[in-house]
Structure 1
Amino acid sequence: MLISIQNVLSGDEVRQFRRHLDHAEWEDGRTTAGTLAAGIKRNLQLADGSEVGVSLGHHILRTLGSHPEFISAALPQRIYPPKFNCYRGGGSYGAHVDSALMAVPGTDITLRTDVSATLFLAEPEEYDGGELQIEGPFGVQSVKLAAGDMVLYPSTSLHRVTPVTRGARIASFFWIQSLVQDDGARTLLYDLDQSIQGLSAAGRADDPDLLRLTGVYHNLLRRWTRP
């Protein structure tokens, strides 16, 4: 499932983020790349543990902790601390698949990557290129969202960032270990939950069919959850 979530951060929040990031100390993104990725990764990143990155990452996590659509789509169990990158001057990232397991810096926690997330922090008109291209069963989907919007997609997907030929593409990226590992099951649960929320908003909270659908949702969640 590939889903775009609008306005995760408000315009004011994006501007605050950019004020910090525009004056941050960036390092070569290849320092955190594996052997294969080092040859195809050309970007800048904030160092793990940087004061700016940690502070902004905590803000993102607090926001997502009460964001109903994110919770519905990702069913998060653990979230890798958000990281930040910048593509400019022809920077790009060739086709790759994210590592299945990632050690959380400074902890003894290893996280399984089920869902990948990119939170855009630059407006599309600020830069040329920089599309996030994700390969799926229906071909390649190209994603370039407004600042403050976020895309979620399966971490099993082959994906790339096309060269940025003008301006700078700035984003936060991170991974989620979901309570439901299987992407197909998560997709069904998300669609079902969105339908339930839509019917509830229409004032049918006591409708027997709606109650039955809610029961189906929770019983499927019980069946598919990996604690």
Structure 2
Amino acid sequence: MLLELRAVLAPDEVAAGRRVLDAGPWSDGRVTAGEQAMLSKRNEQLPESCDAARQVQQLVLRGLERNAEFFSATLPRHIAPPLFNRYSGETNTFGDHVDAAIRFLPGGAMRVRTDISCTLFLSEPDEYDGGELVVEEAAGITRRVKLRAGDMVVYPGTSVHRVEPVTRGARVASFFWIQSMVRSQERRRLLFDMDNRLRDLRSRLGDADPAIVGLTGTYHNLLRHWADV
């Protein structure tokens, strides 16, 4: 399931994050690439242990915490610390690849299965040309994504995807991975659809309606059956 989430960060938060990120320090983005991805990756990345990265990580995580649609869609068990990349000049593209299945976090204290990939855009679309995230979905469908600063896209970590060459300006973004409590993409989609419909019914019928109570119980019983916590 590919899903676009609007306004994960407010404009003032984007501006604050960009002030920190634009000052760097930026380095070769291949440091986090797997063996296959390294062959096609040409971008810059902020070292994940630097003060700038840690500062903006907290900004991103606070945005995620208050976004109900994000939690409904991803049902996160673990969120890998957000990373930051920049595409511009000669380091301007990332060819077709699939993200590594397991992300080893700094220090070796934890591993995250990359069920879901996330890109949070931190540049406005008119700041750069090119730079679309292209995701291959099932049945040969291809989605091209270029969102406003503060918007985010989530998509299956199993997807072949790429970033088109940036031919003008700079594309700055945060990227990270999620290990979901519900491993199956199909089950996550069913739960997300059910939760959306429940929220719509609550807005019209109220929380106390017997049908709402029963359906909410069914949702949580399914989540209890499928979730790994």
The TM-score by the shorter chain falls in which range? Answer: over 0.9
Pair 1:48 & 2:42 matched: no
Report the secondary structure of 2:107's partner residue.
coil
Shift, 1:32, TM fit: 2.4
Query: What's the counterpart of residue 129 of structure 1?
Result: 130
Query: What's the counterpart of residue 193 of structure 1?
Result: 195
Query: What's the counterpart of residue 98 of structure 1?
Result: 99
For 1:170-215, what per-residue CA distance to the aligned partner results, in whole angstroms no more than 9, with x for missing partners?
0000000100001110011001101111211224222222222111
- 2:74 and 2:116 in contact (8 A); partners too: yes
Pair 1:210 & 2:212 matched: yes
* Structure 2 Cα separation of the partners of residues 31 and 183 of structure 1: 29
Query: What's the counterpart of residue 157 of structure 1?
Result: 159
* Structure 1 Cα separation of the partners of residues 101 and 32 of structure 2: 15
Gaps of 5+ in 1: none
* Superposition map of 1:1-20 within 5 A: 1-20=1-20
Pair 1:81 & 2:55 matched: no
Amino acid in structure 2 at the alignment position of 1:8: V
Shift, 1:107, TM fit: 4.0
* Structure 2 Cα separation of the partners of residues 214 and 112 of structure 1: 29
* Structure 2 Cα separation of the partners of residues 158 and 67 of structure 1: 26
Shift, 1:62, TM fit: 2.4
For 1:115-162, what per-residue CA distance to the aligned partner results, in whole angstroms no more than 9, with x for missing partners?
111000000111111000011114100000000000010101110000
Query: What's the counterpart of residue 60 of structure 2?
Result: 60
Amino acid in structure 2 at the alignment position of 1:201: S
Aligned residues: 227
For 1:26-84, what per-residue CA distance to the aligned partner results, in whole angstroms no more than 9, with x for missing partners?
00111222222221000000012010001110221122123211110110110000000
Query: What's the counterpart of residue 167 of structure 1?
Result: 169
Query: What's the counterpart of residue 117 of structure 2?
Result: 116
* Structure 2 Cα separation of the partners of residues 169 and 116 of structure 1: 18
Report the secondary structure of 1:31's partner residue.
helix
Amino acid in structure 1 at the alignment position of 2:102: L
Higher helix share: 2
Q: TM-score, structure 1 length as denominator?
A: 0.97
* Structure 2 Cα separation of the partners of residues 33 and 62 of structure 1: 26
- 2:34 and 2:100 in contact (8 A); partners too: no
Report the secondary structure of 2:123's partner residue.
coil
Report the secondary structure of 1:223's partner residue.
helix
Query: What's the counterpart of residue 71 of structure 1?
Result: 71
Q: Percent identity?
A: 50
Shift, 1:25, TM fit: 1.1
| Regions of 4+ moved over 3 Å | none
Amino acid in structure 2 at the alignment position of 1:124: P
Amino acid in structure 2 at the alignment position of 1:22: D
CA RMSD after TM alignment: 1.1
- 2:26 and 2:44 in contact (8 A); partners too: yes
Amino acid in structure 1 at the alignment position of 2:134: Q
Gaps of 5+ in 2: none
* Structure 1 Cα separation of the partners of residues 183 and 70 of structure 2: 16
